[in-house]
Structure 1
Amino acid sequence: MCPARRQERQAMTAFPELLDDARRLSDAGRRQILGITGPPGAGKSTLAQRLVAALGPQRAVLVGMDGFHLADAELRRTGRRARKGAPDTFDRAGYASLLDRLRREPGTVYAPAFDRAIEDSIAAAVAVPPEAPLVVTEGNYLLLWPEIRPLLDQVWYLDPPAQARRDALIARHVAFGKSEAEAEDWVLGSDERNAEAVAAGRERADRVLGWTAD
C-alpha cells in the first residue's frame, strides 16, 4: 500500500496520462484499489467511469461511495433529507466494510450503486469478480474518514477551479429536476459546506491534480 504524501496541484492532466497510470496499477500483480476524491462537482464520477470503460471489464470495476447514501426514507425520518450528501448521511461503516472485503475476500463481492434517477441506492447492483485486478472507487469523503485511507492503494484528489466546479454542479442539479434557483441555493449552501469538509483531507492524497477530458 502506498503511503499518502503531499503533492502540489498539477497542471491540467490529460486523460491518456491518467489512463496509463491506472493501467500500471492494474498490472501490479495483486488487486489494487484506486480512490478518486475531491469536492462535489470536481468530475470524480466522470473520470472514474472513463477509466473503467477504457480499461475494460476484465481489468477494472467501478464501486462508488454514493451507493452508501442512506435511503431518503431514513433521511426524512431522522431530519437529514435537506443535508443529503453531508458526511453523516452515508453508511460510512458499510463502505469501509466493503473496501475491506474487496481487499481480502477470494470470491465475487457485490456492491450497491446509486441511481440518480430515483435518488436512492440499489443493493448488490455491482459485481466485483475475484479476477478483477483493479477496483476504482470514487466519492467525497475518502480522505475525511480516517478508516478509509488505509484501505486504498492510491488516492487522487481532483482540484478544478472553484467556479467551474460550481457551474457544473448547478447544471447537474437542473438536469435532475431542480429549478435554476433551487440548484444555486443547494450548490452555494449544502454542496459548499461539503466541499469545505472534503478539502480538509487534500494533503493526504497521493496526487492532487486537474485533468482534461481531451
Structure 2
Amino acid sequence: MGEADAEPDAVNLAALVERARNLGPGRVLLGICGAPGAGKSTLAGRLVTALGDEAVYVGMDGFHLAQVELERLGRTARKGAPDTFDAAGYVNLLHRLRTEPTVTVYAPEFRREIEEPIAGAVPVKPEHRIVVTEGNYLLLGTSPWHEVRTHLTETWFLSPAESVRRERLTARHRAFGRTLEEARERTLGSDEHNAVLINATRPAADLLLTAVLD
C-alpha cells in the first residue's frame, strides 16, 4: 500500500466502485477510515450496494467491548477510544478473511439502538470477493492496531470539513436519544479527542476523500 500525501478531494461514487472492483484478483479487504461523523458507514453501505453480491460490509464497531466490560474497566466515559475495542479480535478477523476466502467466516455487528455488539451477525461467504470494512482506527500506529493495515488491500480516508463532521455527529447522538446539550458535550468531548488522534493518521491512507458525489 502507498501513502497519500495529496489534499483530499470529492470523488464520484462510480469511480470508487470501479477502483474497488479493480483491486483484485482474489479476496479484497477495503478499509474506510475517518473520524467520528466523517461518513464512513454511509460510504461503506453505498459501496456494498453498488458492488452487489460480490461485496459485504464488516464494521470495526462490532468489536466494541460490551457495556458491562467497559464498566468493569472504568472506561464507560471514554467509549469509542482505542482501548474500548477488542483490537486483537478485529485483527484476527481480518487475518481470517484474507487467508480463508473459501469458507464462511462470521463477523460481529454493532447495534446502535442498543449500543452493544452482536456476535456472529454477519456471514462473510466465499462469493464475497470484496470485504468493505470501516472504522476509526484502521491506520493507528500503536499495538495491536498497527497490524490492521497489513491485512487491508487498500485504505481510504474520509476527511470532510470539520464543521460538517461535528454537525453530523451531533445529529447522530440526538437521533439515538441524547438531548442537544448531551449530544454537543459528547461531540466536543470524548469524540473530539478521538478525532484528533484519528485525523493524525490520515497521511497513511491510500486515498483521501472530502466527499462522495452521486
TM range (shorter): over 0.9
In the TM superposition, what is the alpha-carbon distance from 1:39 to its structure 2 partner?
Answer: 0.6
Show the counterpart of 2:33: 37
Q: Secondary structure at the match of 1:123?
A: strand
Runs of 5+ consecutive residues of structure 1 not aligned to the other structure: none
- Give 1:119-198 correspondences, 5 Å limit: 119-144=115-140, 145-198=145-198
In the TM superposition, what is the alpha-carbon distance from 1:53 to its structure 2 partner?
Answer: 1.1
Distance (Å, rounded) in 1 between the aligned partners of 2:71 and 2:114: 15
- Give, as a single letter, the amino acid of the residue that structure 2 aligns with 1:115: R
Distance (Å, rounded) in 2 between the aligned partners of 1:142 and 1:4: 15
Q: Secondary structure at the match of 1:168?
A: helix
Distance change in 2, residues 1:172/1:213 (3 Å): farther
In the TM superposition, what is the alpha-carbon distance from 1:17 to its structure 2 partner?
Answer: 1.7
- Give 1:85-100 correspondences, 5 Å limit: 85-100=80-95
Distance (Å, rounded) in 1 between the aligned partners of 2:182 and 2:4: 37
Show the counterpart of 2:13: 15
- Give, as a single letter, the amino acid of the residue that structure 2 aligns with 1:210: T
Distance (Å, rounded) in 2 between the aligned partners of 1:139 and 1:146: 13
Distance (Å, rounded) in 2 between the aligned partners of 1:104 and 1:127: 16
Show the counterpart of 2:51: 55
Show the counterpart of 1:5: 3
Distance (Å, rounded) in 1 between the aligned partners of 2:75 and 2:105: 30
Structure 1 runs of 4+ aligned residues shifted over 6 Å read none
Distance (Å, rounded) in 1 between the aligned partners of 2:9 and 2:207: 12
- Give 1:71-86 correspondences, 5 Å limit: 71-86=66-81
Equivalent pairs counted in the alignment come to: 209
Deviation by residue 1:52-85 (Cα, 9 ceiling, x = unmatched): 01111x2101000000000011101111111110
Distance (Å, rounded) in 2 between the aligned partners of 1:14 and 1:183: 31
Q: Secondary structure at the match of 1:148?
A: helix
Show the counterpart of 1:108: 104
Deviation by residue 1:176-206 (Cα, 9 ceiling, x = unmatched): 0000000000000110100011112111100
Distance (Å, rounded) in 2 between the aligned partners of 1:82 and 1:142: 22
TM-score, structure 2 as length reference = 0.95
Identity of aligned residues (%): 56
- The answer on whether the counterparts of 2:35 and 2:195 sit within 8 Å (CA) in structure 1 is yes
- Give, as a single letter, the amino acid of the residue that structure 1 aligns with 2:177: G
Runs of 5+ consecutive residues of structure 2 not aligned to the other structure: none
Distance (Å, rounded) in 2 between the aligned partners of 1:164 and 1:202: 18
- Give, as a single letter, the amino acid of the residue that structure 2 aligns with 1:127: P
- The answer on whether the counterparts of 1:15 and 1:211 sit within 8 Å (CA) in structure 2 is no
More displaced 10-residue stretch of structure 1: 95-104 or 5-14: 5-14
Show the counterpart of 1:204: 204
- Give, as a single letter, the amino acid of the residue that structure 2 aligns with 1:7: D
Query: RMSD across aligned C-alpha pairs, in angstroms?
Result: 1.0
